[in-house]
Amino acid sequence: MTISTSPTPLVSELLSSVPGIVHGITHRVPGMGLADGNVGDTAPRDSADAWSMRQQWGEIIGYDPERLVRTGQIHENNVFVVQEKHVGMGRRRDTPTPGTADAMITQALNVPIMTLAADCLPLLMYDPVQRGVAAVHAGWRSTVMDIAGETVRAMQREFGSDPKDILAFLGPAIGGCCNEVGPEVTAAWRDVARDLGPLAELAVTRPSVKEHFDVPRANTLLLQRAGLLPAHIEVSSICTKCNLDDWFSHRGQGAATGRQGGVIMLIDTPS
């Protein structure tokens, strides 16, 4: 993966190694727009500035912002199938979303799908064989509802995907180093991951009085359980709370902070 302090998106080396998609994760760029490159347009964020940033990032990443699709994120595990008829829905605050879901999948060409995050995990996936993509918002609630596995199963059902063909990039999120949680969180994780046995404990640490929950590690385990090969999973290992200059963090900067966007789009490839 590559990143710079200029308006350059974070890009996965794994996803970049295969043709057929454009993708990128936006980040905080001090002085970019009114809110340092923020693409989140929900109140109290400035919707006009967020739209301007979606346009600027679109030019950089290579997607048409007028065709952008966004769903309403509700911290659950629903998976929405984006079709050509949904083009442009949710691209701005004043355009309706096609529905509420924290994961989107599509086989439609030139339809960018975007997930927003500020400590939650942006997860981008691509099946280069059946040619389908996914953009997932995985906070702790969605994680303990196995949104990663639900998305893989949706790709199997809708696209005919073989999980062994799917490539996944787990972007920046609050890490286990900083994600102090209550006992209800780790209890829910242990419940959903009970078949993993001792492996489930890799996502839980107790550096002090309270336990910490490693959302990227948990989603890596869930993707592997769903059938993805370890070599087909890339983890950014960037903690948003530890890197406040470059990333928006709900824990580190407060609820009104901006949002980074994870975007992926299927494009034509030479036959």
CATH number for position 140: 3.60.140.10
- Whether 144 is in a domain gets the answer yes
Residue 4 — pLDDT band, cuts 50, 70, 90? Answer: very low
Compute the average pLDDT of residues 150-163.
98
Residue 5 lies in a domain: no
Q: What is the pLDDT of residues 163-199, one digit of tens each?
A: 999 999 999 999 999 999 999 999 999 999 999 999 9
Residues 26-51: what's their mean pLDDT? 96
Number of domains in the chain: 1
Range of the domain at 199: 13-266
Q: Is residue 53 part of a domain?
A: yes
Average pLDDT, the chain: 95
Residue 7 lies in a domain: no
Helices (H), ranges, the chain: 13-16, 47-61, 140-143, 147-159, 183-192, 215-225, 250-253
Q: Residue 209: pLDDT band by 50, 70, 90 thresholds?
A: confident
Model pLDDT, residue 120: 98
From the number of C-beta atoms within 10 Å of its C-beta (0-12, 13-18, 19+), residue 116 rates as buried
- Is residue 36 situated within a structural domain? yes
* Average pLDDT of the segment spanning 235-249: 97
Q: Is residue 3 part of a domain?
A: no
Which pLDDT value is given to residue 270? 58
Q: What is the mean pLDDT of residues 236-254?
A: 97
Phi, psi of 124 (to 5 degrees): -115, 135
Q: Is 209 inside any structural domain?
A: yes
pLDDT bucket at 6, cuts 50 / 70 / 90: low
Asked if the structure places residue 2 within a domain, the reply is no
For a pLDDT cut of 90, what percent of the chain falls above it? 95
Lowest mean per-residue pLDDT among 115-119, 123-127, 160-164, 205-209: 205-209
